Structure 1
Amino acid sequence: MHEHDPGDPMTNTDPAARLTSTFTTDDLRSFVDGDGPFATVMLPAPSGQFGGDHRFEVMWKHARRRLEQLDADWSSDRLDELEAVVAELHHSDAPAFVIIQRADGVVFVEHLNGELKGGDAVTEVADHPRLLEIIDDRQRTLPHIVVDTDRAGATVTGFDAGRPTGSEQVEGDTEHIHRVRGGGWSHRRYQQRAENTWERNAGDVADVVAEMARQLDPVLIAVTGEVRAKQFLHEALDHEFGDVLVDIEAGDLDGVSSEVVDQLADRRARFQVAILERFRDQGGITDPGEVEAALREGRVETLLVSGPTSTMDDGEVRARLDAIGAAITAALTTSAAVVVVPQTAEMSGGLAALARW
């Protein structure tokens, strides 16, 4: 177990390793092993709009026509195969989708947890797949646990990749659950029994949370519910998980969800800041050509790419996107970590790297 400063979840922890360990790239690495070119279609999902089914179908038809225009060699058979995959998607399943087809017809589909930057559909054919938005989205959906607790128990739910991994209901003793006001010695005895019951129940909850946390390695354990129940939970868990244990004050489900999203965004931003500080301290590689050479030589430990600020589908950024796509593919094939960070002055080409040697 690492010793952490409770105010900083990254103390004594490699921030790049911590961030990249929260999501997998094995499926992406396997996919990029195939030969290009790659056709990429990114479709927003208009589930909140009237006629979402029709709008989604129209967007795909436009994307198919665009693919036919971009690459006349992209056969009708392959496009039919791609269309069959898209037909299985439903616009209410995710805020957006990234669908990529290799030259051999193999199709990769990613259900994004957030909306596309800029909100517009994107279609392209390139030597490398468009993975930037997928990795950026995965790095936003960090593993976490939400605990809704009261004096009698709790509901403990784990999340990873933006989806629940499991939920456990903890039901404790309720025989002496209520404290009473006033009275003499007998009342004080009853109050003490109630207090002891709450503490035992909190211990049961803490055991479930700890077991789930050891499996999930969350960056956040968000606790909502009754004040005293939360206090007992802190007493039981702070020694091991105090760096990620946070009280959520919102009362309703929407408020809790919003606070959890904000907490996760804050943690991701702090990881990114720590990575950029390490990059500057170690004198990382900033020239895109040198980054490309280091990737070819297998010298890159962590590839830094600037995140999408829009759908980035105009001619001015085409060369940059191609370079980012090639760099991400090379990083995956050499087992380098890939981290999406905000654009900085050092990353004029959208790329930087920390070298292994």
Structure 2
Amino acid sequence: VLSRLSLARQDVSEASGLVNRVVSQLIRAIRSKEGSFGRIERLGAGSYYERVKIFEPNEFDIMLVMPVARLQLEECDDTGAFYYLTFKRNPKEKYLLKFLDEDGKLSAFKMLQALRDIIKQEVKNIKNVEVTVKRKKAGSPAITLQIKNLPAEISVDIILTLEVQQSWPPSTQDGLKIEQWLGRKVRGEFRNKSLYLVAKQNKKEKVLRGNTWRLSFSHIEKAMMNNHGSSKTCCESDGPKCCRKGCLKLLKYLLERLKMKYPKELEKFFSYHVKTAFFHACVMWPNDTDWHSEDLDHCFQKYLGYFLDCLQKSKLPHFFIPQYNLLSPEDKASSNFLSRQINYQLNNGFPIFQEM
């Protein structure tokens, strides 16, 4: 199954080459338009960049990162993940003042609107390939580009991200429990990295004002994915191979196939649930010997068992913000449904894997 899930190298490089060309042109245009986005940088995120992508290479996430000197973070609910952002005193970034709302909060909505307008103009100037900007999805922090690349289309989510050089907020204090897995030193290095915030609507808010931002750790997730062994040589060309990424790919595939079959019942589930459970599993079984490549079958069942346990208890703590439960009890019916579907697959030798 895994060999069929690995993307054909040529497809990947063709698709990513096209995406790079389009995004580079957009970034040049965004930087040159006016002061607001002059220092914007690009950061690849998501499964393609972590080398755990499955199916066609037709979906990409690109984070456009804006450095900001200092921000005041105010929690806007009890998850510890969503924040209102205000400036301390006189900000260096005077050009951001026009994006404040009437309460002095930095408006994700206003910033996304300005960025979207620039991108909509610039896609008209892209030569030799047809690029369109998709209509806004409510609550989504992304500006989505559709690139015609016959016979398929490539979808690129552009995510507006702020990078702040300040310590992580208190809600993250007990997260990232990787001491036994990757080591205390690595945890310290990760926590010294910048704080990233993405424009993301908090669905719990009664009135959707578009002024909330969510913590993002995709830069750390990418680092953990690409250096996932408790020993430094794990999965290097001449080092021992493990099956960690293989297990993750299988569960991602299982969820994606089930979502195709039952889109309505499983609309609340995303690959981020599977990825979060994966990081917790890496902590529960921290040694490379727990994930021998030849034990893929056994390791996958172990990881799957943990995920099923989370579904049954409606409890999957965010890996970096432990108070934030990604499986809320009010979605218990969806969790039960997914649990039943996975158990059916498990007890019948995963017929869904034969349908590839």
TM-score if structure 2 supplies the norm length? 0.27
Structure possessing the higher relative contact order (Cα contacts under 8 Å, 6 or more residues apart) = 1
Richer in strand (by share): 1
Larger Cα-atom Rg: 1
